[in-house]
Amino acid sequence: MKTIIVKAFTVFDERTESFIKVDKDTKLRLENSLWAIAEWEKKYKRPWFPDKKASESARKKYEQEKSPDEIMYFIKCMITNIEFDEIDDNILYGLSEENFKDIQEYLSDPQTALKSIPETKPDKKSKPDQVRFTSERIYAWMVEQQIPFSCEFWNINRLLNLVQIVNYDNTPDDRKKSAKPYEIAQDYARINEQRLKASGKKG
């Protein structure tokens, strides 16, 4: 969880040629959760995370660079202390350089003392284009591993670590491979940070 304060502000929106004004400071609590990712994917109809197993053509189709508006919408999805339908989108225009820096640091934080988890590989093979790493895939893992859906509000890095731990603990000893650490949560944290930096910051 990350708490930021958006100061009262007045800015000129060039797109609408009008001023946007928020009269008082606003406290926002953010959580980089599976729920936030699922809401973003519901709107934009493509995966938030890149699929490392997909073919090159599939990656080009679904993994285009996120626009500033798309990044801002993800920040909106992370807000937990205001009902989603009641969030004033104008508040996001008041995010300062310091706010963005705080969010970047939060997204890059693995939220765990865990350093790495041994990688395991499934027995069955999948065609590259059929492997889409979307929020539904994470929900499927939660169902398979009997992880309660209440964990969808956890930080996504902690949830991915939990998924890996349960998967590793349930893997037969003869299939466990410890030679190559698989740091998926840390990788995706860096991806989140890079996307935010590329967003152009203020809208």
Overall domain count for the chain? 1
pLDDT-derived band at 183 (thresholds 50, 70, 90) equals low
Q: How many CA atoms lie within 13 A of 148 on its CB side?
A: 4
Structural domain range at position 38: 1-203
The identity of residue 82, as a single letter, is I
If 0-12 CB within 10 Å is exposed, 13-18 middle and 19+ buried, where does residue 52 land?
Answer: exposed
Indicate the average pLDDT of the chain.
82
- Predicted confidence at residue 194, as pLDDT, reads 75
Phi, psi of 33 (to 5 degrees): -110, 170
> What sign does the dihedral 98-81-1-157 (CA atoms) show?
negative
184 touches 60 (CB < 8 A): no
Residues in a beta bridge with 118? 181
pLDDT-derived band at 62 (thresholds 50, 70, 90) equals low
Whole-structure pTM value: 0.72
Neighbours of 180 (CB within 10 A): 8
- Predicted confidence at residue 116, as pLDDT, reads 65
DSSP string of 5-39? EE--EEEEETTTTEEEEE-S-EEEEE--BHHHHHH
* Cα 40-100-87 angle, rounded to 5 deg: 50
* Locus of tokens 């800015």: 11
Longest dimension (CA), the chain: 65
